[in-house]
Amino acid sequence: MSGPRTYFAIDLKSYYASAECAARGLDPLTTNLVVADASRTEKTICLAVSPSLKALGIPGRARLFEVVQKVKEANDARLRAAIRSRTAVKKDGKWSLAAPSYDAKTLAADPSLEISYLVAPPRMAYYEKVSRQIYGIYLKYVAPEDMVVYSIDEVFIDATPYLTYYNMAPHDLAKTMIREVLYTTGITATAGIGSNLYLAKLAMDITAKHAAPDQDGVRIAELNEKAFRYLLWDHKPLTDFWQVGPGTVRRLEKHGIHTMGELARASLCDEDMLYREFGVDAEILIDHAWGIEPCGMKEINAYQPETNSLCEGQVLSCPYTCEKTRLIVQEMTDSLVYQLMDKGLVTDGLTLDIGYDRENCDSGGYRGPVQIDRYGRTLPKPSHGSVRLESATNLGSQLQAAAAALFDRIANPKLTVRRLTLTANRVVKDPGIFQTDFFTDAAKLEKEKSLQEAMLGLKKRFGKNAVLKGSNYLEGATMRDRNGRIGGHKAE
């Protein structure tokens, strides 16, 4: 990268919730709305929570029961205040709040109203459609090679050449793009502007949260290396910083490092310690502690991973026995087979991760190794294992046999299961069927492959549930339901 550059990081605010509000003609910033599948239990994880609900202390990825609990606590406080101010009403001999409202402005104007909220079932296909529309708006201003899609609601943009082209300051160009998204879709956004990609991300994630919103609710913040050191060297917690997770924080805290400023000083005084602790990753940590990021769009677009993988994962709706879990592993393997076929890929290995339910510990009968999850609950230690195949394949018979043997090898048959992840490792382009030894029946394998291709064609034409196995109708099977989902959430 030659010469100073200017990068944007743009994040659509509470995207899924905002998309649902906009679809209903409601203001995403003032409407109490949560995106969640209420047909499941209240333990289901919310896909998104609107900003006005977050103001009640509800986290963005709360479980539905947490939303219910927080809203109840807020209404209890409003009722006590309403009784004191004599604005509460009596219903069936009991004091209560007046009519419910899910609009934050209305609730703020009338403390006697009850806080309510809308629950919108996820619609992943719709969110992807709106995201593509917003991407099209960005493309009106910048070329695709100067933009990286980070997620469904977040992009990075190298704005350097466009500042001169449009004769605009960075703040003005970012605001213009965000406003067109708002006026077109009803969805607002937050933007970070930085002298490198890392600082643009931090400006968006951290600094913009403290910036005053404009009349449209848009927040834009800017950071360069000097401003980063002044504003964020003492910022806590460290997990607010991009790519710094709880595990990294614990390892830093062992050495008395609690801020980016302390990390920068440690790199001057004891750089060897950081490399001993983190290996080659220490270089990234040190660069980021000083606000340095040498990677730009050119490097991102040229990046080719050494290996690739495909993954299937799901959280089960209830604890599954070992026998019922084996059925789910079979279904997940089938799904991987069709993904591999569709992409023209083969794999030479599988990895299986099994997460057990907390009821195993709650019952008091489990005495094995445990771990504490992020909710502070005690769970049996997950099972993890891999299997290497004799040759790369995408044939169901071979992958099913390998997955079943792997499951039987690592699963604890006495424990109930709640989470599963199956990964096809080191996927490469399919070289076709060929005879590797005298014992390989190439004709039989070719026939199986042709059958899979025919079934894939039917699924693509008539839907994933057009061709199913009898086992997909057994009690506990999930494939039929998951075929109507995107990323584990309802497509429509």
- pLDDT > 90: percent of the chain: 68
142 found inside a domain: no
* 294 in the same domain as 402: no
Between 216 and 290, the higher pLDDT residue = 290
Residues 287 and 317 in one domain: no
Say if 143 falls within a structural domain: no
Tens digits of residue pLDDT in 249-266 = 999 999 999 999 999 999
Average pLDDT estimate for 428-433: 81
Burial class (CB in 10 A: 0-12, 13-18, 19+), 301: exposed
9 falls within a domain? no
CA distance 419 to 353: 8
Residue 332 and residue 358 in one domain: yes
| Residue 216 covered by a domain | no
**Amino acid letter, 423:** T
| 91-113: average pLDDT | 91
Whether the per-residue pLDDT at 2 is higher than 70: the answer is: no
Q: What are phi and psi of 315, to 5 degrees?
A: -100, 120
CA distances, 252 to each of 50, 152, 193, 239, 289 (Å): 34, 32, 28, 11, 12
Domain-embedded: residue 315:
yes
Same domain flag for 440 and 420: yes
Give the integer Cα–Cα distance in Å for 491 and 463. 13
% of residues, the chain, pLDDT over 70 = 97
Average per-residue pLDDT for the chain: 91
pLDDT, residue 492, reads: 62
Q: Quick one: 475 and 328 in the same domain?
A: yes
Q: What is the dihedral of CA 291, 220, 19, 30, to 10 degrees?
A: 130
Does 444 fall in a domain? Answer: yes
Lowest-confidence region among 285-294, 364-373, 379-388: 364-373
What is the tally of structural domains in the chain?
A: 3
Least confident of 11-25, 33-47, 313-327: 33-47
Q: 292 and 323 share a domain?
A: no
pLDDT at res. 433:
62
- End of a domain among 98, 120, 142? 120
Q: Which domain holds residue 106?
A: 17-120
By three-state DSSP, how is residue 412 classified?
Answer: coil
**Residue 217 located in a structural domain:** no
Which residue, 280, 300, 320, sits at the end of a domain?
300
Q: Is 190 helix (H, G, I), strand (E, B) or coil?
A: strand
The CATH number of the domain holding residue 461 is 3.30.1490.100
Q: How far apart are CA 432 and CA 410, in angstroms?
A: 31
Whole-number Å distance between alpha carbons of 201 and 207: 10
Q: In the prediction, which pLDDT does 94 show?
A: 87
pLDDT at residue 130 is higher than 60: yes
Does a structural domain hold residue 294? yes
292 and 357 assigned to the same domain: no
pLDDT at residue 491 tops 80: no
Q: What is the pLDDT of residue 340?
A: 93
The CATH code of the domain that includes 242 is 1.10.150.20
The answer to whether residue 156 scores a pLDDT higher than 80 is yes
CB 401 within 8 A of CB 448: no
Within this chain, do residues 275 and 362 fall inside the same structural domain, yes or no?
no
Mean pLDDT value across residues 410-430: 93
Minimum mean pLDDT range among 182-186, 231-235, 446-450: 446-450
Q: Do 284 and 363 lie in a common domain?
A: no
Residue 451 has pLDDT above 70, yes or no: yes
pLDDT range class, residue 490, cuts 50, 70, 90: low
Alpha helix (H) residue ranges in 45-145? 51-54, 64-84, 104-109, 124-139
What is the token pair recorded at 376? 């502070």
Same domain, 356 and 247: no
318 lies in the same domain as 461: yes
Mean pLDDT of 374-395: 89
| pLDDT (0 to 100) of residue 213 | 87
- Specify whether 328 is located in the same domain as 459: yes
The residue among 325, 355, 442 whose CA lies nearest residue 395 is 442
Among 103, 120, 137, the domain-final residue is 120
What pLDDT is attached to residue 280? 92
Model pLDDT, residue 277: 94
